Amino acid sequence: MIRPLTVPSPAAAPRPVSPAPSRARRALRFLAMAACAPYLALKVAWIGGSHLGIPEGSPLLDHRAPMLFANALTVLMDAAVIVLVLLLTRPWGLRTPARLLVPPMWAASGLLVPIMAGFPLTQLVGALGGADSPAPSGGSAEPFLDAWVFGVVYVGFIVQGVALGSLFVLYTRDRWGHLWRGRVRDLARARRLGGRATAVTAAALALLPAALHLLWATGSATGLNTGRVEERGSDFYVLEYLNVLYLAMAVAGALILAFRWGPGLPVKVPLALAWLGSGAVGCWGGWLVFGSLMSLGDVTKQPTAVMLLTYAVHMIIGTLVAAVGVRFLKERAGSPA
């Protein structure tokens, strides 16, 4: 008697073996670590008192203690990328609990994606004749960093993002690929209403920041501080449109996962939208809140109440959409959500 072919359920999928990393993974590991070097070198130099890349008159030179703290924090953050790279490419990484890997990887994605999208686009728009940020009223713009610093740092971040993201995709395919196999039509209906309520809440909250970003992208100064209004150029407008895109990605991913919309879509599409969108919205919102505390005493650059509210809502939306993704994966794996 011939037995019918059966496909193991996601919960019954075997745990991956721990093979030695392939040549491609070793190359990506080297690339990611090498891309961290320029940023770490600059930060360590600044902590040590160097003024490399900092022009005379920069406000960075007038606030030694806050900058020491900010530089030390960002050194730790970039060093964490190296830890993540090792975790994603060493055999012991497959045995690391998900709760120790997923949150820092989500945060890294959320901070790198806006740079990976924003920097090339702003450079392209500038090359096509986009307007530079005008000097503040009353004189020339106050120097902050030499232009070459931004190029070195942001190119390094883009390479980090590409290499780290590629390694994470390969890692998740080995360890959790069975959870994002198939199409949305193949998914069972959600067993609980909590995920739907969370997705709808995130979508409703997104209306406020999306409306504000659209206003700012189309030239309105509503709710912006004086410094931001005076410095607006093509870069500003490009980044505001991208902020709307990240919100749309997060909300779309959450709603598709919660309501099983788009039956023909591969499951990995809404998961990717939710992951990248929630990270960019939530983590970048948190970074902007942190940055508002480091505005170096310039009253014109202190965020307004509207700006702070926007950043805070970003953080809430990112957290809610991430929660929808976690609930979905737990249900798909057969664990209690």
Contact yes or no for 46/149 (Cβ under 8 A): no
Cβ–Cβ under 8 Å, residues 302 and 225? yes
- Fill in the DSSP letter of residue 115: H
Q: What is the pLDDT of residue 333?
A: 84
What's the pLDDT tens digit per position in 131-154?
666 654 444 455 678 989 999 999
* Cα(298)–Cα(303) distance, integer angstroms: 10
Under the phi-then-psi rule, with left for phi > 0, alpha for psi from -120 to 50, and beta for the rest, what region is 260?
A: left
Q: What does the pLDDT read at residue 332? A: 87
Amino acid 297: pLDDT? 59
Whole-prediction pTM value? 0.89
Contact 313, 205 (CB under 8 A): yes
* Per-residue confidence (pLDDT) for residue 11, from 0 to 100: 45
Parts of the chain with a pLDDT under 50: 1-12, 14, 17, 136-140, 336-337
